[in-house]
Amino acid sequence: MADDDTAIGGAKRGFQSTLWTVVLTAKDPDAPDRRGALQTLNETYWKPVYLFIRRRGNDRELSKDLAQGFFTALLERSFLQYVQRDRGKFRTFLLTALEHFMADEHDRAQALKRGGGRQVISIDFAAAEAALSTPATDPPDRLFRRDWALRVMGQALESLKADFAGRGRLDEFKALRFHLTEGTRGAPTGAELAKTLGISEAEVRKRIHRARADYKEAILRVIRDYTETETDALEELSDLLGAFS
């Protein structure tokens, strides 16, 4: 995975607060930073939304219109008023809201035009098209689940990278990152890592084990931001990992 793959769309920045706080801000019509909160949700989850729309058979231009229109509608039509933390997964709510939005747009027989007198939400659509270069056999809703999982894992990887950097061990992160999950093709061998890091192969194995544990915990931290209990978070982790099986 290249460095750019650690952030799936949007600016490379961390949340100032948890995702759930961002959602609550975005759904509050009186919140002073409501539009900024919506932009954060957009930057975080635009890619699964855009790819879902594309995989439903829409061309690029219509998909751009629908994706931008959807995130605008979250604000202008107050879709977020219906999201509750104790009523299932946030990604399930987002997908349901997206399907309803697309149905409404179909009934109107025309897509929202980008701009259209409203503030345009910036989305780097070109970065998503590469994901469509390989024909997919799974249905769009399952692929949405996978794309969401990739987004979560990307956030976790950025968090882990920042943690290593904060301890002055960024080179170690770059060396070990290909071993954060098992079976990564082209990953350097233990002997190669030992030479790169100037440590023994036994120490390499220990650090890989610790890094994997830290990566799993980083993923859980991201998931905890939009789940209610630890049980919910663990179930979501299992569900997201199952998207690749």
Considering the chain, what is the average pLDDT of its residues?
74
> Which three-class secondary structure state does DSSP give residue 146?
helix
**Does 9 have pLDDT greater than 50?**
no
Which pair of tokens denotes residue 110? 């025309």
Task: List alpha helices for 167-200, DSSP H.
Answer: 170-176, 190-197
Q: Which domain holds residue 127?
A: 3-244
At residue 37, φ and ψ (nearest 5 deg) are -65, -40
**Does 120 have pLDDT greater than 50?**
no
Model confidence, pTM: 0.57
Distance separating alpha carbons of residues 202 and 114, to the nearest angstrom: 56
Q: How many domains does the chain have?
A: 1
Q: Tell which residue, 35, 103, 107, 47, has the closest CA to residue 72.
A: 35
Write the pLDDT tens digit of every residue in 13-55. 333 345 666 776 766 777 777 777 777 777 777 888 888 898 8
Lowest model confidence (mean pLDDT) among 16-25, 114-123, 144-153, 194-203: 114-123
CA atoms within 13 A of residue 219's CA, in its CB half-sphere: 23
**Does 7 have pLDDT greater than 70?**
no
Q: What is the pLDDT of residue 101?
A: 86
